[in-house]
A and B are shown apart, each in its own frame.
Chain A
């Protein structure tokens, strides 16, 4: 397995995915799209953890468990973020970042 694909290929894929997420975070002005960009970034980090675990330390499971915990935290984060987004939509009737600029209502 590891002789067919070097570790660097995984790292390049996850780097490109991470910076796509960063670009989406900066370019998009919509809260849900920003949330999706954050999910992309979290996911690329997971690929790194898993690839390092399999290639460098196949006798341990640290990367595997960290990925498991990150997936759980991402799910919790998405639930809270979407609750916040729906609440913002109720107050401002829009979830574009440019329209949500008052702290007081």
Chain B
């Protein structure tokens, strides 16, 4: 077994184990920590595939941004030792049933399909190439999605502030 195979197996097993623990843990803060491990192992898979920039984005945005945001909101809304009640039996059966049936169907389908690997030369995906293609208006350029997503981020920023802002004192008194 080569080192590459060992690394892939390690990341894959970590992803599967921790994603199951994320939804199975009854302490919500632990669930968030397990989610962090899942996201870090995914970044490991990106490193394994030689997408270093993407792995950096994954660590900085997902592990650094979203998980910290989730942990903040957990600390604001829950007592730190909060434990969930056991889930209802109907939900448990429905959830596990959907997951088992769906994954069995998807895996059997994709195992029976042959993805022919093409013998094309791999291009280096460094920051230079990514930056050039991201703002290029030529063929295969991503200038328009880039602009759209910057508008979307601005909208989300304003939306989050408007939603989370405290209501006006006078407005609440008049109700």
A interface residue numbers (CB < 8 A to B): 1-2, 4-5, 7-13, 15-30, 32-33, 35-37, 39-40, 43, 46-47, 50-51, 54-62, 64-65, 67-69, 71-80, 82-87, 89, 95
19 additional A-B residue pairs with CB within 8 Å, beyond A33-B31, A78-B69: A2-B117, A4-B4, A17-B15, A22-B102, A26-B98, A27-B91, A30-B28, A39-B62, A40-B35, A54-B51, A60-B140, A64-B51, A73-B149, A76-B156, A79-B69, A83-B161, A83-B163, A85-B77, A87-B164
Q: A5-B4, A73-B149, A76-B152 are in contact. Are A22 and B98 (CB under 8 A)?
A: yes
| Neighbour of A86 across the interface among B49, B140, B164, CB < 8 A | B164
Decide if B95 touches A77 in the complex (CB within 8 Å).
no
Q: A69-B149, A80-B159 are in contact. Are A55 and B115 (CB under 8 A)?
A: yes
Q: A43-B62, A61-B130 are in contact. Are A12 and B107 (CB under 8 A)?
A: yes
**Count of A-B contacts with CB under 8 A?**
225
B111 at interface (Cβ–Cβ under 8 A)?
yes
Q: A32-B28, A50-B46, A64-B130 are in contact. Are A9 and B8 (CB under 8 A)?
A: yes
Decide if B23 touches A24 in the complex (CB within 8 Å).
yes
* Chain A residue at minimal CB-CB distance from B121: A59
- Min Cβ gap B6→A in Å is 10
- A-chain residues with CB within 8 Å of residue B163 when the two chains form the complex: 80, 83-84, 87
Q: How large is the interface on B (under 10, 10 to 19, 20 to 34, 35 or more residues)?
A: 35 or more
* Chain A residue at minimal CB-CB distance from B115: A7
> With the chains together, A46 CA to B55 CA distance in Å?
11
B169 at interface (Cβ–Cβ under 8 A)?
no
Decide if B62 touches A1 in the complex (CB within 8 Å).
no
Q: A22-B102, A23-B99, A24-B95 are in contact. Are A12 and B110 (CB under 8 A)?
A: yes
- B-chain residues with CB within 8 Å of residue A80 when the two chains form the complex: 156, 159-160, 163
> With the chains together, A45 CA to B117 CA distance in Å?
20
Decide if A33 touches B130 in the complex (CB within 8 Å).
no
* Highest count of chain B CB atoms <10 Å: which of A43, A85, A95: A43
B103 at interface (Cβ–Cβ under 8 A)?
yes
- Min Cβ gap A79→B in Å is 5
- Min Cβ gap A20→B in Å is 4
Decide if A61 touches B129 in the complex (CB within 8 Å).
yes
| Neighbour of A64 across the interface among B8, B122, B125, B156, CB < 8 A | B125
- Min Cβ gap A30→B in Å is 7
6 smallest CB-CB distances across A and B, nearest first, come from A24-B23, A76-B156, A26-B95, A58-B122, A23-B99, A83-B164
Q: List 17 A-B contacts (CB under 8 A).
A: A4-B5, A10-B45, A16-B19, A17-B16, A27-B92, A27-B94, A32-B73, A35-B70, A39-B62, A39-B66, A50-B51, A54-B51, A58-B118, A65-B145, A68-B134, A79-B160, A89-B76
